[in-house]
A and B are shown apart, each in its own frame.
Chain A
Amino acid sequence: DTEVTQTPKHLVMGMTNKKSLKCEQHMGHRAMYWYKQKAKKPPELMFVYSYEKLSINESVPSRFSPECPNSSLLNLHLHALQPEDSALYLCASSQDLRSYNEQFFGPGTRLTVL
């Protein structure tokens, strides 16, 4: 399996809801990432995990909470989001954190916050 999968494809939530985004890869990659992407803009890095430990948090608000239960799974827990958080959330993975490694992206979860 050479793909990164993400569920759900679409998510609509109110500002008081709690929801989670899920990401999975079975390529044996040890680095996983969360990005936020607005329309026709580049992805913005949110979090990086390396060997299941949080390596980078790009000053993301605490209403976004990442979790890496094992080397194949990455979750993003959402709570009390704002309408401006509506975006495409991308998960990616790479072999490790070395700079020459390709990052493999999932199809994304389209999030709408009402």
Chain B
Amino acid sequence: AQRVTQPEKLLSVFKGAPVELKCNYSYSGSPELFWYVQYSRQRLQLLLRHISRESIKGFTADLNKGETSFHLKKPFAQEEDSAMYYCAQGNQGGKLIFGQGTELSVKP
């Protein structure tokens, strides 16, 4: 079965520090990968997806097929980045396979 793994349940960094949220997938083909974010008391929303190759709120994510990874990175974390982050893989049929999520806490 296809699986998305986020090894860190909680990641705590200080403001201004670099941050990397890890995501690994198990699909052997060309995956459709997303990062969704859920801020406190807000709806789950798309942060970025690999086909767009864009940077949103300073975050980037590169698909590495060799390592089957799609890690999310930001060079300088801000307090407002504190949230729950989910890596997800899209499947035909509309299924999104979510990782378990990483809670990012950015301390002042």
By a beta-carbon cutoff of 8 Å, the part of chain A in contact with chain B is 31, 33, 40-43, 45, 48, 50, 55-56, 90, 94, 97-108
A56 adjacent to B101 (CB under 8 Å): no
Report B-chain residues with C-beta under 8 Å of the C-beta of A102. Answer: 34, 46, 49
Q: Which of A48, A106, A108 sits near B93, CB closer than 8 Å?
A: A48
B100 adjacent to A42 (CB under 8 Å): yes
Count of residues in B whose CB is under 8 Å from the partner chain: 24
A42 adjacent to B94 (CB under 8 Å): no
A-B contact pairs, 16 of them (CB 8 A): A40-B103, A41-B100, A41-B101, A45-B95, A48-B94, A50-B94, A90-B44, A94-B94, A97-B94, A98-B92, A99-B92, A100-B51, A103-B46, A104-B46, A105-B44, A108-B43
Shortest CB–CB separation between residue A102 and chain B, in angstroms? 5
A48 adjacent to B44 (CB under 8 Å): no
List B93-108 residues whose CB lies under 8 Å from chain A: 93-96, 98-101, 103
By a beta-carbon cutoff of 8 Å, the part of chain B in contact with chain A is 32, 34, 42-46, 49, 51, 84, 86, 88, 90-96, 98-101, 103
Shortest CB–CB separation between residue B12 and chain A, in angstroms? 15
Main secondary structure of the interface of A (DSSP, over half): loop
Report B-chain residues with C-beta under 8 Å of the C-beta of A41. Answer: 100-101
Most chain B CB within 10 A, of A42, A45, A55, A106, is at: A42
A55 adjacent to B96 (CB under 8 Å): no
Report B-chain residues with C-beta under 8 Å of the C-beta of A97. Answer: 92-94
B100 adjacent to A55 (CB under 8 Å): no
Most chain B CB within 10 A, of A56, A94, A97, A108, is at: A97
